[in-house]
Amino acid sequence: MCKKLVIGVDEAGYGPNLGPLIIAASVWKVPTELSENELTTQFGRLFQAKKWARDCEHVPLGDSKILFSPGKGLATLEAGLLAVLATATSGKGSYSSTLQQLLAAVKVTIDSGSAAQPSASWYQEIDEYPVPMTAEVLADLPRLSELARTQLTSLGVELVGLRAVVITEREFNRQLARLRSKGELLSQASLQLVSDSLRDNQLAAEVFCDRQGGRKNYLPVLLAAMPEEWFVENASAPARSSYRSTSQPELTIHFSVRGDHFPPTALASMLAKYLRERLMQSVNEFWRNHLPSLKPTAGYPMDAARFRHEIEAVAKRLRLDPEDWWRTK
């Protein structure tokens, strides 16, 4: 059976002033004849954007904004993410038990370097954070991952693996000062992740990125990010821009509005959101150790301003430069 590579890319944390920006990719081998719509339909028989419960007959997979909200908690997100991750050809049947192990399992890059975890003080306890967070999800993972594995095998589809980039607050500010555009920062980091995911690939590849911000023409940033390729515009519409590389093996990249409804992009969105939420847990716990009555934050602008006002005196006492913990955009 001839295979092609399918890669889904999405982010979490583009808008906040606090915490990291996470960009994630899921990499799959898919039968060449299976179209985007057919893949979505076939996945939908088992993989669904529905709440996890013990003995549920589906595996949670979908847009992370549907699977997670602060009121719902992380159980559904991590049940689906960890069950599907366990099927990956790069680590079949294995489960991470801490957040730091998960970062290693999904080949996370921290600030374009080789560090195993972010260096800021508020990220130093993540090796003690359990994954998953509850015994109930942990107990159900073997059953869920077997359901996922059986369905993927029947479709001739393999999850090759997951990747992610964590851009911490200081690095975000450094790149923003250089690029002068948050959208440019996201585009360049996303396409670098795509390039890394394609390294040593000998298969035709199709990449699906969720479109962010107002950018509609990605040709200049594609040519800058992958100078070894030569791209031409394949299609341009309000909901999607598509580009094709003229090199071999064949490479097509799509930038789509609401692209996270496509299963490979949805899984990337789940990983990005999960990592963002767990790292924000660490941010909140760090500051609450100094200010026990401090209300946690998700880091988005209006509440971030409240949070900044409340922690500034402590940050000054700890000699923490705002450049290290406050994203300027």
The DSSP annotation for 168-202 comes to -HHHHHHHHHHHS-HHHHHHHHHHHHHHHHHTT--
Which pair of structure tokens corresponds to residue 121? 């003080």
Provide DSSP, 148-173: HHHHHHHHT-EEEEEEEEEE-HHHHH
Which pair of structure tokens corresponds to residue 148? 């996922």
Look at residue 240 in the predicted model and tell me its pLDDT.
Answer: 92
Residue with tokens 């290290």: 324
Q: Percentage of the chain with pLDDT > 70?
A: 97
Look at residue 69 in the predicted model and tell me its pLDDT.
Answer: 87
Using alpha carbons, select from 162, 143, 70, 120 the residue that is nearest to residue 286.
120
pLDDT tens-digit map of 140-181: 999 999 999 999 999 999 999 999 999 999 999 999 999 999
Superfamily of domain 3-280: Ribonuclease H-like superfamily/Ribonuclease H (3.30.420.10)
Using alpha carbons, select from 147, 70, 77 the residue that is nearest to residue 303.
70
Distance CA 211, CA 258 (A): 7
Mean pLDDT along residues 233-244: 90
Give pTM, 2 decimals: 0.95
Mean pLDDT along residues 91-107: 82
Look at residue 75 in the predicted model and tell me its pLDDT.
Answer: 97
Look at residue 107 in the predicted model and tell me its pLDDT.
Answer: 87
Mean pLDDT along residues 109-122: 83
Look at residue 129 in the predicted model and tell me its pLDDT.
Answer: 95
Look at residue 99 in the predicted model and tell me its pLDDT.
Answer: 94
Mean residue pLDDT of the chain comes to 93
With a cut of 90, say whether residue 247 has pLDDT above it.
no
Q: Domain segments of the chain: what residues?
A: 3-280
Look at residue 138 in the predicted model and tell me its pLDDT.
Answer: 95
pLDDT tens-digit map of 189-211: 999 999 999 987 889 999 999 88
Give the residue, 79 or 94, on which the prediction is more confident: 79
Which pair of structure tokens corresponds to residue 81? 């993410």
Using alpha carbons, select from 70, 25, 65 the residue that is nearest to residue 49.
65
Look at residue 290 in the predicted model and tell me its pLDDT.
Answer: 98
pLDDT tens-digit map of 45-89: 999 999 999 999 999 999 998 999 888 899 999 999 999 999 996
Give the residue, 12 or 239, on which the prediction is more confident: 12
**pLDDT confidence tier of residue 237, bands split at 50, 70 and 90:** confident
* Under 8 Å between Cβ of 3 and 28: no
Look at residue 115 in the predicted model and tell me its pLDDT.
Answer: 67
* Under 8 Å between Cβ of 276 and 102: no
Using alpha carbons, select from 30, 193, 225, 20 the residue that is nearest to residue 112.
193
Note the helical H segments in the chain: 36-43, 64-67, 75-85, 99-105, 135-155, 169-179, 182-198, 219-225, 263-290, 301-317, 322-325
Look at residue 248 in the predicted model and tell me its pLDDT.
Answer: 77
Look at residue 92 in the predicted model and tell me its pLDDT.
Answer: 58
Look at residue 90 in the predicted model and tell me its pLDDT.
Answer: 59
